[in-house]
Amino acid sequence: MAAITAAEQGLRQVVVLEATPEPLQKVRISGGGRCNVTHACWDPAELSSHYPRGSRPLRGPFSRFACGDAIAWFDEHGLTLVEEPDGRMFPQQNRSEAVIHCLQNAATAAGVQLRTKVMVQQVAAQTDGGFVVEGRGLEQPLKARKLMLATGGHPSGRQLAESLGHQVVPPVPSLFSLSLSTKTLAACSGIAIDDVNLDLKLGDQRFRQTGRVLITHRGLSGPATLRLSAFAARALHQSHYKGELKVDWSGGLGRQGVEQRLRQWRLDKARRTLIAANPFEHLPRRLWQAFLSSVALDVERRWADLPLKAERHLVDILCAQRLLIQGRGPFGEEFVTAGGVALGEVNLATMESRRCPGLYVAGELLDVDGVTGGFNFQACWSGGWLAGQAIAAVETAGARY
């Protein structure tokens, strides 16, 4: 985005150095191969619910280039975005390759030079301005008057930023699934439930989220779990990913509603079996069976014969099941990292470094991260557009590459 914007604003020589053979691989795999480009529901007052870190500083950048601007930008460059009921926006073609092709075509049309298989290993700031870039894949050092780092969560970017005088907030994983010590849900792998309430306790800290949860063979994932992990990222890291998670599966009924439903079923479905007459239509049969098994109930027992003690245990499980977290999802599964270049060291109006003039930083390399739903990509689009505009404004005013 930064390179395209700068080139479209009149810069004659814009070069992108990419370490991998193919650029935009994170775009390719995002959203299960669909790429959640941005989010339509964009209220500056609600940024704190979308960005665990960086919500307040981002108000400035988003006032200049936010969701609506990103939608218009992609539309102008030949990519139509379609809004889903929950506000997430995907390419009309419903595949990530469409976003990649859009960006690549825009870069080519603007005259951006892309050099792949170039791993930048060292950057030196020159006393008279500009930078000298060295790395694997470069036949000779590359000189540039302006330099932008947009290396995502890769450690190389943080190392380069530190070498240029920046303080880096130690990164920790964010947006990941939770592994549980219990095996009671293992048979329900693949089931997704809406309106699940998650309450995580870590020492004297508590984190809550409500939404869709996906049961996996290791534990829990899904949007609500990922959001929970994002807001609790540092606390989970400090606790070595151990803690107690309380889960409310009642779908908003609450304890009183669940108790009333079970009493009603005991009377109205007296001759039916527990497994045949599920009182909660939002709970799939496999999950309801798992709850029955967890309190040692014979699923063929009749409702009229349900012991009061077992009924109380069912209420506890449905409204406040306590699960022990034993770790996070597999290494590499996390979507983003919390941490990076400290925001106070960057002018967020231009994305230029306050420590190293001529250096620009954007994307996941900054200490900014959002929840799922297109918010992380939007921070990248906004930062890249601002950086491209700022670089072009300075360079076209008289400086040369």
Query: Which of 381, 373, 341, 387 has the alpha carbon at shortest distance from 153?
Result: 341
Strands of 142-144's sheet, edge to edge? 119-125, 131-136, 142-144
Q: What is the CA radius of gyration of the chain?
A: 25
The per-residue DSSP string of 198-246 comes to EEEEETTEEEEEEEEEEE-SSEEESHHHHHHHHHTHHHHHHTTT-EEEE
DSSP 45: G
Q: What pLDDT sits at residue 19?
A: 95
Q: What pLDDT sits at residue 333?
A: 57
The amino acid at residue 148 is: M
Q: Please say whether the beta carbons of 365 and 161 come within 8 A.
A: yes
Give the C-alpha distances (Å, rounded to integers) separating 222 from 12, 213, 228, 281: 45, 5, 10, 20
Neighbouring C-alpha atoms within 13 Å toward the C-beta of 28: 6
Numbered ranges of CATH 3.50.50.60 in the chain: 2-173+335-395
Which residues face 83 on adjacent strands?
89
The amino acid at residue 280 is: F
Phi-psi region of 241 (alpha: psi -120 to 50; beta: other; left: phi over 0): left
pTM, to two decimals:
0.90
How far apart, in whole angstroms, are the C-alpha atoms of residue 145 and residue 358?
7
> Could you report how far apart the first and last alpha carbons of the chain are, in Å?
19
How far apart, in whole angstroms, are the C-alpha atoms of residue 213 and residue 194?
6
Q: Which CATH class is domain 2-173+335-395?
A: alpha beta
Residue with tokens 């979308």: 50
How far apart, in whole angstroms, are the C-alpha atoms of residue 303 and residue 292?
12
Q: What pLDDT sits at residue 118?
A: 97
Q: What pLDDT sits at residue 336?
A: 87
How far apart, in whole angstroms, are the C-alpha atoms of residue 247 and residue 337?
25
Phi, psi of 54 (to 5 degrees): 100, 5
pLDDT in tens, 262-304: 999 999 999 999 999 999 999 999 999 999 999 999 999 999 9
Neighbouring C-alpha atoms within 13 Å toward the C-beta of 354: 10
Over the chain (401 residues), the average pLDDT of each successive run of 10 is: 97 96 92 93 85 94 95 98 95 97 98 97 95 97 97 94 97 94 88 97 94 95 96 96 96 96 96 96 96 93 95 96 91 76 97 97 96 94 98 77 38
pLDDT in tens, 295-320: 999 999 999 999 999 999 999 999 99
Give the DSSP H or E segment for 103. Answer: helix 96-110
Query: Which of 188, 327, 333, 297 has the alpha carbon at shortest distance from 249?
Result: 188
Q: What pLDDT sits at residue 322?
A: 95
Q: What pLDDT sits at residue 186?
A: 85
